[in-house]
Every structure is written in C-alpha cells, then in structure tokens.
Amino acid sequence: MPPYLAGRKEEEIEFRRLLRQTTILENLVITGLRGVGKTVLLESLKPIAIQEGWLWVGNDLSESVSISEESVATRILRDMSVITSRITVTRPAPESAGFIETQAKDTLAYPFLRRLYDETPGLVSDKLKYVLEYIWAFLPQLQKKGIIFAYDEAQNMSDQAKKEQFPLSLILEVFQSLQRKNLSYLLVLTGLPTLFPKLVEARTYSERMFHVLFLKRLSEEDTKDAILKPIQDAECPIRFNEKSVNRIVGMSGGYPYFIQFICKEAYDTWLQQIEAGENTIVPAEAIISKLDSDFYAGRWAKVTERQKDLLWIIANLTTSESEFTGNEIAEASRSQLQKPISHSQVNQMLARLSDAGLIFKNRHGKYCFAVPLFGQFIKRTMETAS
Ligand SMILES: Nc1ncnc2c1ncn2[C@@H]1O[C@H](COP(=O)(O)OP(=O)(O)OP(=O)(O)O)[C@@H](O)[C@H]1O
Ligand SMILES: [Mg+2]
C-alpha cells in the first residue's frame, strides 16, 4: 500500500453505492493498465466493506488456479472457509457412538465444506451453489449483510472450449444464480483491460451484471498529493521544491507505479546528494533509463523485429496514447516503412501483441496500449537504437 492513496474518491463512492444494494444487481469490475493502482484500490475497499458490515473473502487468481473449474471451485471453498470456520453447526452424532440423543458440534471449516461439496451430486456449478447456499443460512449467526468475493488478476481466467473447462462461466453462473435467490454474495473482480471483454464473451449478461471502473492515470493535483503527502511529515529529511515536483509529475504521466518508482529513485539520490553536500536535483535521465530496464525491457525483449516496426508506427500516430485502428496503422506504414505491412498482416500482428499483453481491444473495437506511456518508451528506445 502507498503511504497515501491519492485520488480514487469517486471509485470509493461507487463502491459504497454497491454496498447499499439489498438485492445484488450490480457487481464490480476494477480494470486498467499495468501499475495504475488496481490492487491497492481493491485493498483499500476491504476495510470499508468490513466497516459497513460485510464479510470479505479474497485472493489472487493465479494462472494455475484459473485453469480448471475444479481448481476455481476449490479456491472458492478454501477462501470461504477462512471466514466460515468460525461458524458452528450441530449434527446428529453417529449412531455407533451410542449417544443418539446428543448432538456433535462441527465447524464450517474447509474439511466440512469439502465434504459437503463432494457429496452434492451434479456439475461443479451445482455443487458450489449448494455449498454457498448452505453457508448463507448461517449468516444471521454472524450478523453480516453479505459476503464479498474479491479476486485480483481475474484476467487470468479463461474458458477453454477445447479442454471443456469453463471456469469464467462457472463463476458468473454461480453468482448470478445466488443473487437471483436474493443472497447477498457480491463479486468484485480486478484485472487488466482484457478482463471485461472476456466476461462478456463468456456470458453476454455480464454486460448488465457488472459496474466497470476503468482506473485512469491520476490528475495533476492528485499526482502532486501522491508525491508530497508521504513526505509531509516534519521529520522527513526530503523536501521537494516546486520545480522538482513538476518534473516528477511530467515524467510519471500521473501513472501511480511510475510516480512511486521515480520518487523512490529521487529520494535515494537526494539523500546521497545531501550527505555529500551537493545541490539536489532529480536525475531525470538516469531514472528514465532505470525505468526502461526495470519496467519495459523485459516486455520489449519478447517482441520480434517486425512487431517492433509495427509498434514504432503506432507510437508515431497522433492517437497512440488513446486508441488506434488497424487501418490507421496499415495506412501509416505505407508512407513510413520501406516494407509496408499489409492490412491483414497488421490485424494478425495486433492479435499476437494482444495475446502478449502489450495492447488490448477496447469496447469500441479499437486498440490501445496495455502498458502505460509505452509510446514514449518505443520512441526512446528505437531512436537510440537507430
Ligand atoms: N492512488 C494511488 N496513490 C498513490 N500510489 C498509488 C496509487 N495507486 C497505486 N499506487 C502505487 O502504485 C503502484 C502500483 O499499484 P498496483 O500494484 O495497485 O497496480 P496494479 O494496477 O494492480 O498493477 P498490475 O496491473 O501490475 O497488477 C504500487 O506501488 C502502489 O503503491
Ligand atoms: Mg495488481
């Protein structure tokens, strides 16, 4: 968590609105580019939910968990059991014990939930629904309004028709069914911009089932807060002057990961400069080159030469930081490349770059960079290389 979470007030208001639903009609998707602050926003919603009387269950959906319906179901049962293990149930003691009159106590810990799940007949979705409905009956014991399932990195989940595994559809179907029965299970999914299109592809009703928060870069004012508030403490040996703050605002483009990265580098150098009795400056070039090797280089290394040509064309479009089309790229390549890229090749390459997580197709069918300030990096790197 950052020492100060800048901006994101509107997102908090939206979340609080969703918590006021008595029947859950809207769930939440938090999406945005790499490093824009999805995970920390999700973390910051947790105490709000708890304070409002909800239970919070959550985890990261790593690729290995997302692979099959069974592993997603197990993940949900395990996460659920963290809170349900506090619930006690009484059940008739086994007759062989000879105490037919008495009852044994059990808790809804994982082994219990697992047994319930395994003994329920039907598909994975039937079993999961049964267990979650069963648990719901005990909620009055805990005096809670409902249960939030918060899953980060949810773009990792994919339905795979070839393997007959539909983990994404499973989650959507189970939650929709529970919500229809008026059980307050609220789903909060976080992930890269590929997430929401994936949900809609899996189940068209996802379009209505989710409220989407697309996190953007921070405004200039919020960026300044993100830089200055953590060092406002009087004991802090660092004080940035206005020029330095503006420099960092400009370099970071308001992207939280960059703000944090640049500030850390700046603090470290300033402390050394102060110690050495030198004038303090933000060493912009050195920081950018470190950012290039720490953040971009790994992604860039996986790009083929021809893809680099294509990305160069995109970086030089006037709309590179917003959205662009295959047509625009093919058009520009004709005038800018010795060997232009044909329209159909452009489309194939865009699909591949999208699989690699470098670009994504937005809801209007246009493409965007999935990596913040990617255009600037491409220009820097390719200009130095040539
Ligand atoms: N609103 C904010 N104010 C200040 N710092 C922030 C803010 N949002 C995020 N950060 C900082 O930016 C960095 C990136 O945030 P985070 O990991 O939440 O991004 P993300 O969108 O989840 O990234 P990824 O796509 O890689 O999962 C973190 O170090 C975090 O502390
Ligand atoms: Mg994250």
Q: Do 68 and 130 fall into the same domain?
A: yes
List all residues whose CB is within 6 A of at least one atom of ligand 1.
2, 5-8, 32, 34-40, 226, 256-257, 260
Probe residue for ligand 1, chosen from 249, 257, 264 as the CB with the greatest number of ligand atoms within 8 Å: 257
Q: Examine residue 109 and state whether it is found in any structural domain, yes or no.
A: no
One domain for residues 141 and 208: yes
User: Is 107 contained in some domain?
Assistant: no
pLDDT of residue 228: 94
- For residue 59, the model assigns a pLDDT of 86
Same domain, 282 and 147: no
Q: Are 48 and 186 found together in one domain? A: yes
Measured CA distances, 57 to 19, 129, 274, 358 (Å): 15, 16, 46, 31
Q: How far apart are CA 44 and CA 46, in angstroms?
A: 5
Q: Is residue 284 part of a domain?
A: yes
| Atom of ligand 1 lying closest to residue 1 CA | 31
Closest CA to 253 of 295, 194, 307, 190: 295
In order of 268, 269, 275, 293, 330, the CA distances from 237 in angstroms are 11, 12, 11, 29, 53
Residues 245 and 149 in one domain: no
Number of domains in the chain: 3
DSSP 125-184: HHHHHHHHHHHHTTHHHHT-SEEEEEEESGGG---BGGGTB-HHHHHHHHHHHHHHTT--
Q: pLDDT tens track of the chain, all 386 residues?
A: 899 999 999 999 999 999 999 999 999 999 999 999 999 999 999 999 999 999 999 888 877 777 899 999 999 999 999 999 988 888 665 555 555 555 668 889 999 999 999 999 999 999 999 999 999 998 887 889 999 999 999 998 888 888 889 999 999 999 999 999 999 999 999 999 989 999 999 999 999 999 999 999 999 999 999 999 999 877 888 888 899 999 999 999 999 999 999 999 998 988 888 888 888 888 889 999 999 999 999 999 999 999 999 999 999 999 998 999 999 999 999 998 888 999 999 999 999 999 888 999 987 889 999 999 999 999 999 887 66
Q: Are residues 125 and 253 in the same domain?
A: no
* Both tokens assigned to 252: 């970071």
**Shared-domain flag, residues 72 and 171:** yes
CA dihedral angle for residue 18, residue 21, residue 27, residue 29, rounded to 10 degrees:
0
Say yes or no: 16 and 148 in one domain: yes
Q: State the closest ligand 1 atom to the C-alpha of 43, by its place in the atom list counted from 1.
A: 18
* Gap between the Cα atoms of 106 and 90, Å rounded: 6
- Please state whether the predicted TM-score (pTM) of the whole model is above 0.85: yes
Which CATH number does the domain housing residue 369 bear? 1.10.10.10
In which domain, by residue range, is 267 found? 220-298
Residue 99 located in a structural domain: no
CATH number at residue 71: 3.40.50.300
